[in-house]
Amino acid sequence: NAGVMQNPRHLVRRRGQEARLRCSPMKGHSHVYWYRQLPEEGLKFMVYLQKENIIDESGMPKERFSAEFPKEGPSILRIQQVVRGDSAAYFCASSPRQGAGETQYFGPGTRLLVL
Amino acid sequence: QQQVKQSPQSLIVQKGGISIINCAYENTAFDYFPWYQQFPGKGPALLIAIRPDVSEKKEGRFTISFNKSAKQFSLHIMDSQPGDSATYFCAASKGDDKIIFGKGTRLHILP
């Protein structure tokens, strides 16, 4: 009964490169959330996706960031032309359905370091 | 605008003591208040959660106290143990919406 999986766990990129972060939700979960955690800060919501749909992207920066959750395969958070300020831990969470009080289960995170 | 305010930022408690972390929220539409525990290098894990129709919820050594009129809630860890040393986040959400996290409290339990 695997939990939420994220890879890679650590990612190092130079400024200007692209970063691709992957999230495989728990089995049976079709809702995925991405959060970003800066050092010494809480997690901040970025985007909420269901299969093939972006439901809420109010926390996503307008430029360079995009997310998808295709019919098959993991959810992908893509950061183009990374800058040093993108260095953070990126967590995804999954849940089985919408509904009040539904628990989101978090993955172990991807720690992105931009040199 | 910070919707969920958490204090203290860090906390040191003797083994066997009571650890208390406080949170306040602003949005009265919030209807789900979870607490998460995070160890270094790991993702946050749900510890305990409460809905606003009850004033207290207890699970083992962990208790949430909820004051709807004051828009405040707190986590009490009884008989704190060194293994409880971690960062704790209070949070709030409404319905199926995104979770709004506090900034976290670094708890250290002295052996």
The residue with greater pLDDT, B94 or A58, is A58
Render pLDDT for A6-34 as a digit per residue (tens, 0 to 9): 999 999 999 999 999 999 999 988 899 99
Q: What is the mean pLDDT of residues B23-38?
A: 93
Q: What is the mean pLDDT of residues B55-67?
A: 96
Q: Are strands B10-14 and B105-110 parallel, antiparallel or unpaired?
A: parallel
- Sequence-distant contacts of A2-8: CB under 8 A, at least 24 apart: A2/A26, A2/A27, A3/A105, A3/A107, A4/A29, A4/A92, A4/A93, A4/A94, A4/A105, A4/A106, A4/A107, A4/A108, A4/B43, A5/A74, A5/A107, A6/A90, A6/A91, A6/A92, A6/A107, A6/A108, A6/A109, A6/A110, A7/A110, A8/A110
Q: How confident is the model at residue A1 (pLDDT cuts 50, 70, 90)?
A: low
Render pLDDT for B62-90 as a digit per residue (tens, 0 to 9): 999 999 999 999 999 999 999 999 999 99
Closest chain B residue to the Cα of A96, Cα to Cα? B96
pLDDT reading at B12 higher than 80 = yes
pLDDT for the residue numbered B88? 97
* Chain B residue numbers touching A5 (CB-CB < 8 A): none
Closest chain A residue to the Cα of B5, Cα to Cα? A42
Render pLDDT for A49-69 as a digit per residue (tens, 0 to 9): 998 899 999 999 999 999 999
pLDDT reading at B61 higher than 80 = yes
Q: Which residues of A touch B (CB under 8 A)?
A: 4, 31, 33, 35, 40-45, 48, 56, 59, 91, 93, 95, 98-109
Put simply, the answer to whether B102 touches A42 (Cβ < 8 Å) is: yes
Put simply, the answer to whether B34 touches A103 (Cβ < 8 Å) is: yes
pLDDT reading at B1 higher than 80 = no
Closest chain A residue to the Cα of B106, Cα to Cα? A40
pLDDT reading at A100 higher than 50 = no
pLDDT for the residue numbered B96? 63
The residue type at A10: H
Q: What is the mean pLDDT of residues A41-49?
A: 91
* Chain B residue numbers touching A31 (CB-CB < 8 A): 96
Report how far residue A2's alpha carbon sits from residue A22's, in angstroms, rounded to the nearest whole number: 15
Cβ of residue B51 closer than 8 Å to a chain A Cβ:
yes
pLDDT for the residue numbered A26? 92
Q: How many CB pairs under 8 A join A and B?
A: 61
